[in-house]
Amino acid sequence: MTTFSGLLLRWKASVYKIIWIEMIAFLVAFFFLSFVYRYGLKGEHKVNFEELCEYAYRYRSTLPISFILGFYVTVIYNRWWSQFNAIPRPDAIAANVAAHIKGSDESSKLLRRTMVRYVNLAATLCYCAISTSVKKRFPTQSHLIKAGFLMEQEAKMLNEVRSEHPKYWIPCAWYINLLRKADSEKKISNAPGMKTLLDELNRFREKCDALYSFDWIEVPVVYTQVVTLAVYSYFVASLFSHQFLRDASEWKYYRIDLYIPFSCLMELVFYIGWLKVAEKIMDPFGDDEHDFDMNVIVDRNWQVSYLTVDNIYDLNMPLLKDPYFQEASIGLPHTKASSKMPVSKSSTPWMGSADAVKLSDRDMENAENGVQQTSPFCPCFGKRKPVRNRKPSNNSVNVLPEEQPKDSDTKVEMTEQPKAPVTEVPKEQPKDSDTKVPKEQPKGSDTKVPKEQPKDSVTEVPKEQSKSPEVPKEEPKSPITEVHWVKEAEKDAGTEVQKKDESKKETV
């Protein structure tokens, strides 16, 4: 059965098969206690039984049974899947032997077959050490000889090796001897081929060692005991906590008289079934129906390895044109059954999450000068930054107010340069270029500059001076009181010089 209902109703290897004994024992004990309470206990004994049921209910609510059992089953399942992945398979070794050991003569063919036979012998000896089903199939060396894994002369050589440990590693050493022999006889095509054959053998042997280690080192017995005792004590308490109590009117959990505790039975199916699953998959190399069928793996490895290195080794494969040889796009056909299937979202190719982004023609135009515009999160982004920590050029202007006295120690603060409180006038700057000429000024009037102020005068005021006059809040309109950018200062200085020359010509 492949349907979901058939899966739930299947008996073989099902949860019903592994918990039916525990379920029958629980129901028998539950009905016995209920019968004793209803018809056998009276007076003080009935009161004591009710107090015991109340205590059992409080006890079972304190057990973190879901956490303990869930963590235990997770550990067991991960171990079970790792054991399956550690089963060694000779496919990669057989493919590399067929690729690098060339030759169609009898000696080359015998060399390839012997090498893969040694690999299968090593795997079978490892399986015999850990699997009950394989051990029952090959209990002695004579059975291995009869099956073709081992020859009589090789069995004598195997017995001569004195070792108390499993000898599945010895055929791997024989494999290495054959590699050296093939290399000396120039039957291996190149040195990288020799290395590849050794690397694949090492990977194969590592899997055999991992499989042997899984069988040797088991899950700690203490952990299994803790989980088992917690689960079974929980259901022993449930035998009392789910009983119906007639005279316990104050105890609200026992007002409904259920002859069969359905909720408790569901818990038993879940928790006991969970625990039994962990017990069954803890050792998957047995002969139960839940275990790995290792005999099928042995037969499969034997057949695939020999077919790879011998039967299909020297086939002359024809080069044939496929039906789509001259077509750029290939559309594979469908059957009537597959064409009737609904088209789901997963059947269409995934183009990426950004494929749904659409832009208008205006948004797809290039920005001016290829510069990114101002960001809405940072208004200063994309604007020209002021020039800082630069000396002013010869045409730069730093103007003081007209009404500033000669000996004033007023300090002109520059907001852009807090560390340099010095107002400096360049040497080559003419006197009359320090102030703007008002539009209503007479033609022959010159811009006034304080008399005793030299060109290179530097006005500096200590920070802590208290007698210095304050800078007037309202500055006159005619002088320039702001510090200009370098380029703007150059333009203003040039304009003022040109106006001065025109005024002199009109005066003449």
Q: What is the DSSP letter of 39?
A: I
Q: Name the one residue in this structure whose structure tokens are 């060109």.
A: 455
Residue 401 is predicted with a pLDDT of: 47
pLDDT at residue 210 greater than cutoff 80: yes
Tokens of 237: 């308490």
Calculate the CA 275 to chain-centre distance. 30
pLDDT at residue 490 greater than cutoff 60: no
The residue that leads in pLDDT, 174 or 371, is 174
pLDDT at residue 285 greater than cutoff 80: yes
Among 83-92, 100-109, 419-428, which stretch is predicted with the lowest mean pLDDT? 419-428
Residue 122 is predicted with a pLDDT of: 95
Residue 491 is predicted with a pLDDT of: 60
**Of the candidates 448, 127, 181, 176, the residue with the CA atom closest to the CA atom of residue 300:** 127
pLDDT at residue 136 greater than cutoff 90: yes
- Distance in angstroms (rounded) separating the CA atoms of residues 289 and 292: 8
Residue 73 is predicted with a pLDDT of: 93
pLDDT at residue 496 greater than cutoff 90: no
pLDDT at residue 360 greater than cutoff 80: yes
- Distance in angstroms (rounded) separating the CA atoms of residues 77 and 86: 14
Please state, for a pLDDT cut of 70, what percent of the chain lies above it. 69
Residue 156 is predicted with a pLDDT of: 93
Taking the CB of residue 305, how many other CB atoms lie within 10 A of it?
26
What pairs with residue 459 in β-bridges?
Answer: 423
Q: What is the DSSP letter of 456?
A: T
The residue that leads in pLDDT, 184 or 388, is 184
pLDDT at residue 119 greater than cutoff 80: yes
Taking the CB of residue 181, how many other CB atoms lie within 10 A of it?
11
Using alpha carbons, list the distances in angstroms from residue 221 to 80, 213, 279: 17, 17, 12
The overall pTM is greater than 0.85: no
Residue 327 is predicted with a pLDDT of: 80
Residue 451 is predicted with a pLDDT of: 47
Residue 506 is predicted with a pLDDT of: 64
- Distance in angstroms (rounded) separating the CA atoms of residues 241 and 60: 8
Using alpha carbons, list the distances in angstroms from residue 148 to 64, 137, 302: 55, 13, 10
Residue 80 makes CB contacts below 8 A (sequence gap 6+) with 281, 282, 284
Calculate the CA 374 to chain-centre distance. 37
Q: What is the pLDDT of residues 312-326, one digit of tens each?
A: 887 888 888 888 888
Taking the CB of residue 80, how many other CB atoms lie within 10 A of it?
18
The answer to whether residues 324 and 114 touch, using CB atoms and an 8 Å cutoff, is no
Residue 416 is predicted with a pLDDT of: 46
Residue 78 — φ and ψ, nearest 5°? Answer: -60, -40
**Of the candidates 348, 358, 354, 453, the residue with the CA atom closest to the CA atom of residue 405:** 453
Among 296-310, 379-393, 481-495, which stretch is predicted with the lowest mean pLDDT? 379-393
pLDDT at residue 263 greater than cutoff 70: yes
The answer to whether residues 442 and 505 touch, using CB atoms and an 8 Å cutoff, is no
Q: What is the pLDDT of residues 142-153, one digit of tens each?
A: 999 999 999 999
Longest dimension (CA), the chain: 141
The arithmetic mean of pLDDT across residues 372-401, rounded, is 49
The residue that leads in pLDDT, 122 or 290, is 122
Residue 424 — φ and ψ, nearest 5°? Answer: -120, 135
Please state, for a pLDDT cut of 90, what percent of the chain lies above it. 34
Residue 415 is predicted with a pLDDT of: 45
Indicate the average pLDDT of the chain: 77
Which ranges of 36-90 does DSSP label H, i.e. alpha helix? 44-61, 65-85
Residue 430: how many CA atoms within 13 Å on its side-chain side? 10
pLDDT at residue 449 greater than cutoff 80: no
Tokens of 4: 């979901």
What pairs with residue 424 in β-bridges?
Answer: 458
| Residue 505 binned pLDDT confidence (cut-offs 50, 70, 90) | low
- Start-to-end CA distance of the chain, whole Å, equals 119
| Residue 253 binned pLDDT confidence (cut-offs 50, 70, 90) | low
- 40 SS3 class: helix
Residue 245 is predicted with a pLDDT of: 78
pLDDT at residue 6 greater than cutoff 80: no
Tokens of 286: 């047995």
Q: What is the pLDDT of residues 287-316, one digit of tens each?
A: 888 889 999 999 999 999 999 998 888 788
Residue 400 is predicted with a pLDDT of: 47
Residue 4 is predicted with a pLDDT of: 72
The residue that leads in pLDDT, 51 or 82, is 82
- 459 SS3 class: strand
Q: What is the pLDDT of residues 450-482, one digit of tens each?
A: 444 444 444 444 444 444 444 445 444 444 444
The residue that leads in pLDDT, 208 or 409, is 208
Residue 486 is predicted with a pLDDT of: 47
Residue 198 is predicted with a pLDDT of: 93
- Distance in angstroms (rounded) separating the CA atoms of residues 238 and 254: 13
